[in-house]
Amino acid sequence: MSDTKKITANHVARAVIPDPGFGREVEEKSRTRVSSCFQCLKCTGGCPVTFAMDIMPHQAIRMVQLGMKDEVLESSTIWVCASCETCTTRCPNDIDIAHLMDTLRQTAIAEKITPAQKEILAFHRVFMMTIRFLGRLYEPGMLGALKAWTRTLNRGEIKLGWKMFKKGKLKIVPRAVGESRELRAIFAKAKQKVKGEGSKVKG
């Protein structure tokens, strides 16, 4: 294979076409003043999952400020973020970075942007589906659905699952927490809240 053929679309530098309204749009949706970031790096310094990110949290903030919409929404960082809020607590400008990451994830989903690591989005969907129906985690069902969706189930994992089942480590029958009516109401309320966000900007 020639060197030219080895180069994939991801390796080809593309022109950055900034979206000047993106920063403001994100500020409104996340209700946090991204524009006040002065790049002190305290967020990145405290983040426990930077090792798995393709851009650092402070870089994601800078990209939002610069209107680099495609670049930030296509990053795996917004999906790797564990919403631990360490960055939010450390930020001297009270920027709610954890919420901002959540907003960026929602925007990426709404705009049908495929993340750099597709499995992360699949995991996010399966996780939310489990919570929506049961109100709690149900690992066997969640992993089964994830593996089927991403077509990554292998013989070793089936064997391991069987071993765990025989030792009583896997509970096959799921147990729901609360009434499904209540769970539906919580999700409907959250959906409404997301729609309603945008009227005020903190800071």
Binding site for ligand SF4 (CB under 6 A): 37-43, 46-47, 49, 57-58, 61, 81-87, 90-93, 95, 97-98, 101
- b/e burial code for range 142-154 (CB count within 10 A of at least 16 → b): bbebbbeeeeeee
C-beta of 68: minimal distance to ligand SF4 in Å?
A: 16
Q: Which is nearer to ligand SF4, 83 or 192 (CB)?
A: 83
66 exposure class (CB count in 10 Å sphere: 0-12, 13-18, 19+): middle
Q: Which is nearer to ligand SF4, 178 or 203 (CB)?
A: 203
**Which of 106, 128, 107 is CA-nearest to residue 183?**
128
Residue 84: both structure tokens together? 């631990």
Q: How distant is the alpha carbon of residue 47 from its chain centre? A: 15
C-beta of 90: minimal distance to ligand SF4 in Å?
A: 6
Other beta carbons less than 10 A from residue 35's beta carbon? 16
C-beta of 69: minimal distance to ligand SF4 in Å?
A: 18
C-beta of 51: minimal distance to ligand SF4 in Å?
A: 11
Q: Which is nearer to ligand SF4, 7 or 84 (CB)?
A: 84
Q: Which is nearer to ligand SF4, 48 or 178 (CB)?
A: 48
C-beta of 58: minimal distance to ligand SF4 in Å?
A: 4
Q: Are 64 and 24 in contact (CB under 8 A)?
A: no
Please tell me the distance from the alpha carbon of residue 141 to that of residue 108, in angstroms, as a whole number: 26
Q: Which is nearer to ligand SF4, 88 or 130 (CB)?
A: 88
